[in-house]
A and B are shown apart, each in its own frame.
Chain A
């Protein structure tokens, strides 16, 4: 007998099911189902993934959701047609948006307002009938019939082989007979296979926050809620065959799938007499003439080709919408730059969306847009992080209406550590074992052979044969990639013509005033929903603020017209003098810059892309540097690839090169090549990979590329596809890197002021940034309540630290200080306290860091006065001055001032801590960081300094990297995995280190391969470092 499962929950019911939508689809297809309904809790979160998976398997993906009702229980609703789907989305949105997160519940009136096109089941153990006494059932039946109509209410029977459920079933059957309602069988599926029940129990345990041992009846009674075969269901309901037959009949009615979503992207309002296409063409050509001076033939041809495709695909509105956003930014002085594949488009360049000339750089347009793919192009806009980006987001809301735009979701899934922690907790592991396990799994990566896992478990002090540990290993694997909850994507927005809440349910984000859709950006893209990424980039904020500070000082810099190939900028880059420079400031970047010796913009593009996990793991970096230095010849896998790989010296570095190789070598179209890249992406499908590889090989056969060359190309493509960095993206980043390096070189005070204002940002702690500025001759002036603004400013050619640097000082007090001082300067600390209403602690910090200098002779005297000022004696004693009384406290020593600086601001503008012990260290033969460059390669050296960076990257095979700072510069240290294991505590906890080892000094890159390390006592408390181990 035909049976269709109409009530299956996917893992997108968040901790209520262990079945990923893809697994459900796969199992359903194997069981011979023609269709399956995924009915998740209060949402359609999993619907897109289920739809895609089902489509590939020839299964019809019916849509539904369990709707929480006021008064308890969740009512399963199934979608019959598009109206029903729109109603379901609107219903979920309405209930979610008016309730606190996780508390949404619909009233029966809500249901009545959104009933059209929906079919109602009565639910199983979680349904409203199970949550109410039988005496209340008749009234509820009557109401549901009134809302949905008799033809759309089905009494749901589930049989999980428990007595309580069967008793309820019998009562429901009686009630259904009395109300003349049809029965329908379902299995209330919560897992795909019976064997998945333990994972479901673990999820239940996590959801309720109790370990399995204490979860009791919260757990499933048995493993009967898996997806069963039609025959099995027919056997279970042998006494009610009609209930089974009704499933197929009802499924026949439910013809809606996400293919009929009805999404339409917003129209862009154009001037009278224009169409969107004509308007876009006009804007593009006008922009092109401005960008390309002159507009040469190659650019003209590319633009024509792109415009033709845009017109053909009906995408003019999309480009106009993005152009409109960029225009808004420009009009409001907000820096904006398109990144990602949009930088491959000459139209985007002409419209001012991107800043890289794709024609000049010979970038591949198909990476951005292709006819075959049939999806929206992806345009990401980088904006200054913080308030400016929020202004743009709010503009989008205003422009497209509260229900016309929303943020995309970010599905947080179980991965290594989070999975270990939650599974371990559920299994009742003690806290210390949890710690060990979560540390352990972070080193596992993809699971290795069982023997290896056992060995590692033993090393961590866990008995691999213990049953719970065995369960842990199994469940840890199985929970991977299961969704845990959804959050808000940092910048992805979807837009819609009309009401977005009829396309996908909206819910409130944690941030007030934001709404988020239930799908992530990939889901939206798959379903053809227009998406714009508005990404906050700290460096954009730095650049914007730098420009403003330069203007305040009477200067003017136009980022769009920076002098190209500035020799001073490249000199600094070649010396790896790049602290604070976008993308090329990290330890690894610094270690490769002297090898790369960038001389022009394209070198910077390569530099941005080469220090990435892909090229490093794929061992592309060294061949490239060797070829660049002339140490090895430039070769190509096949002569036909020379034009593609020539500018990267025969080494594939960019994704676009992969696509071009596929196009040239195997005759792929642009769209096919892009499909190849996506197939090899993160959601890698083995079947699809094999198909594409076969296609690739046959294409190469046709082009006469066979044998070893063919193998080499296939290997290069498959190995590189996952990690390759898009050239367009690298070019966009390189522009920002160049701009930041330019400002750092030519407008250092403004750049550093902006950089400090936008902390935390980048690779280094602010204290390192300040020391770098000082070493480069930038005068840094201390925080002073009589001079400092809230943010750092440029003063007398130096940087005046702003009150923002003071830890714990509230922004409103900072603003008040500025405002009061504008009235008249502060006369005394008492006067300051009275006028600003700063708290006792704020006064103490300001005094301690010397911000009252000028109002008190020194910091301790200021502290003595501030303490009194914080406790006003009242008006009666107000006039009795105690200032005359000298402070009995001794003045701060230089070292105490240093500590106070770090405590109060996290940085010091005074001497570096290492200065205080330099004499002693020099006597011990310790070499200062600056002098290491003069030591020859292979020499045995000693150095010492303050730890500013600790790093143990996953790609470094266990090697540990430390950067030590002293008053002269930075020294880089390399520790072998053995040394790290031996000296772990010292390396990860000590703020100052003394190190001995062999100096490597090659191509101007200096590092010490450490052999001995010990803590260095310089009499200071812990100072900050940036740790990534």
Chain B
């Protein structure tokens, strides 16, 4: 049987990908931009914008002048990837042999479809309708070669090329469809070549003599010939399990029951491929048609659903969904199982599962932002730090890299140690006319100041709302306490920031 291929091409794919997730913009002029100003350029535009004269590579200012009210949206690789996956799903819905043609193009083996449909035009119409339903208006062409199908789909909404008629059908199409290298494109333009037919008509040997193998490949494509066999598309190995609930549930106990079953099946499928469970994305579809997602990244890959369940429940408990749950979907990223051999002479570490569970409970109690390791911020602002999440445990315990274990640690650092008071305690402070603190009024450090060292001044971020201006004093009180006082010059407020041991 003669092979037949169908190709789906989404025109203005970058814009279409955006519109798929923001359909409300469909009827307004929209341009997709990329790059950094002043080299910010239009990379794509929807039909409405194109009608107004907006074109790719145009400067933004010019595009805005041509299409008043033009909406500019940054190019979104994520949207494009999703749209491409959706397009591939459309193709996979009708044929098992599908080739990913890149950015808005998909080709599928349509051999024998004639037996299912009365004629191939119906096939093309059906494919177009399916793509439309997936939010991607696509052009469809059917031909005996994938190249011919794709090139034809790039210019016309619906095309069926009779077997053997590929070269003739492609001849009037513009040369620009071939996405040539800049160099080759320049040569052919200089030669006055504008259509695929003109390239196809050049003498083969003379062309190779001048343009080499690349020229020959271009010519074969212009004639509609395929340069290689179809490369089948393999769906990714992400595993997803979902269940639609018969009745919405609104309590954790019932959810735990359902979730347990979902996780069991998920872990079993992963285990069957020798994988553990890496990052987990729990999505709860809610009765109010919304959804709430709960991402979870265990400290190490897990293989036991009983270890995962409490972590997920803990996460849900910390931020309960606003409505009853109608659907539960868990998508899991596979990860390599942790293989560790117990050491004979070193103490055994806490199991990763236990550690992960403990951290998840801590996060639920004190908030995600307050669990992790502190990291100093690059600023002169006193006591400025952030908490970074713990990194995943290494597969093999490494030697401690703490400077405390290093040679000469602590040498020179013989001064007093400051014990920070967080948050600082506001106090009243008596001062001399020069501003020298003489007495702390209030708080556990209330006393006369015997010795004061300072002021140590810092100020910064004057350009933002986080501006600060602080004067710090190290003071010793009559009660022998050595305290760090701070005077906020913006709020005129004193506070105790720490105590020296």
Contacts and interface: CB of A to CB of B under 8 A. Distances in A.
A541 B202 CA distance: 49
B192 A860 contact: yes
Interface stretch (B94-102, B138-146, B246-254, B452-460): B452-460
Given A219-B460, A434-B37, A467-B463, A867 B210 contact: yes
B459 A223 contact: yes
A892 B463 contact: no
Nearest to B460: A219
A427 B38 CA distance: 17
Given A867-B211, A885-B206, A888-B202, A896 B192 contact: yes
A122 B62 CA distance: 58
Nearest to A844: B190
B206 A985 contact: no
Interface in B428-474: 454-465
Contacts of A432: 37, 40, 60
A222 B457 contact: yes
A435 B60 CA distance: 11
A431 interface: yes
B57 interface: no
B379 A212 contact: no
Nearest to B462: A198
Nearest to B202: A888
Contact of B190 (A427, A434, A863): A863
Contacts of A892: 192
Contact of B187 (A160, A867, A873): A867
A224 interface: yes
A844 B191 contact: no
A330 interface: no
Given A163-B456, A432-B60, A889 B37 contact: no
B38 A431 contact: yes
Contacts of B462: 197-198, 201, 471
A161 B457 contact: yes
Contacts of A198: 462-463
B212 interface: yes
B458 A221 contact: yes
**Residue picked from B36, B66, B212, B456, most chain A C-beta under 10 Å:** B456
Nearest to B210: A867
B288 interface: no
A207 interface: no
**Residue picked from B190, B191, B212, B460, most chain A C-beta under 10 Å:** B190
Contacts, number: 99
A954 interface: no
Contacts of B380: 216-217, 219, 221-222
Given A432-B60, A471-B463, A985 B65 contact: yes
B177 to A, nearest CB: 20
A882 interface: yes
B391 interface: no
A984 interface: yes
**Residue picked from A198, A471, A985, most chain B C-beta under 10 Å:** A985
A12 to B, nearest CB: 25
B273 to A, nearest CB: 44
Interface string A832-870: 000000000000100010000000000010011001100
Interface in A412-431: 427, 430-431
Contact of A873 (B65, B201, B209, B379): B209
B336 interface: no
Contacts of A468: 463-464
Contact of B463 (A427, A434, A868, A896): A427
Given A431-B40, A844-B187, A860-B191, A212 B463 contact: yes
A953 B193 CA distance: 44
Nearest to A859: B190
Interface string A219-232: 11111100000000
A219 B380 CA distance: 8
B228 to A, nearest CB: 26
Contacts of B202: 888
A331 B190 CA distance: 50
Contacts of B458: 162, 221-222
B406 interface: no
B378 interface: yes
A891 to B, nearest CB: 8
A161 B455 CA distance: 6
Interface residues of B, number: 39
Contacts of A868: 206, 209-210
Nearest to A885: B206
B73 to A, nearest CB: 14
B203 interface: yes
A538 to B, nearest CB: 30
Contacts of B66: 985
Given A431-B37, A985-B62, A888 B206 contact: yes
A984 B65 contact: yes
B465 to A, nearest CB: 7
Interface in B227-255: none
A989 interface: yes
B256 interface: no
Nearest to A212: B463
A873 B456 CA distance: 79
B377 interface: yes
B51 to A, nearest CB: 17
A161 B378 contact: no
A925 to B, nearest CB: 27
Nearest to A900: B190
A435 B191 contact: no
Contacts of A219: 380, 460
A353 B178 CA distance: 65
A871 interface: yes
A213 interface: yes
A863 B461 CA distance: 63
B465 A161 contact: no
A216 B377 contact: yes
A769 to B, nearest CB: 26
Contacts of B378: 214, 216-217
A889 B209 contact: no
Contacts of A296: none
A888 B201 contact: yes
A889 B192 contact: yes
Nearest to B53: A985
Interface in B61-93: 61-62, 65-66
A882 B206 contact: yes
A412 to B, nearest CB: 21
A467 B455 contact: no
A161 B457 CA distance: 6
A434 B380 CA distance: 28
B457 A224 contact: yes
Interface in B182-210: 186-187, 190-193, 201-203, 206, 209-210
Contacts of A896: 192
Contacts of A471: 462-463
A473 to B, nearest CB: 13
Contacts of B454: 161
Interface in A427-455: 427, 430-432, 434-435
Interface in A741-785: none
21 contacts: A161-B457, A163-B456, A201-B460, A212-B461, A216-B379, A221-B380, A221-B458, A222-B459, A224-B457, A427-B463, A467-B463, A471-B463, A863-B190, A867-B187, A871-B209, A885-B206, A888-B201, A888-B203, A888-B206, A892-B192, A985-B65
Q: Can you list the 10 inter-chain pairs with the closest CB atoms, starting with the nearest?
A: A431-B37, A216-B378, A985-B65, A161-B457, A867-B210, A222-B457, A221-B380, A432-B37, A889-B191, A222-B459
Interface of B: 36-38, 40, 60-62, 65-66, 186-187, 190-193, 201-203, 206, 209-212, 377-380, 454-465
Given A163-B456, A868-B206, A984-B65, 12 more contacts: A162-B457, A212-B461, A213-B464, A216-B379, A217-B379, A221-B380, A222-B380, A223-B459, A860-B191, A867-B211, A888-B203, A985-B66
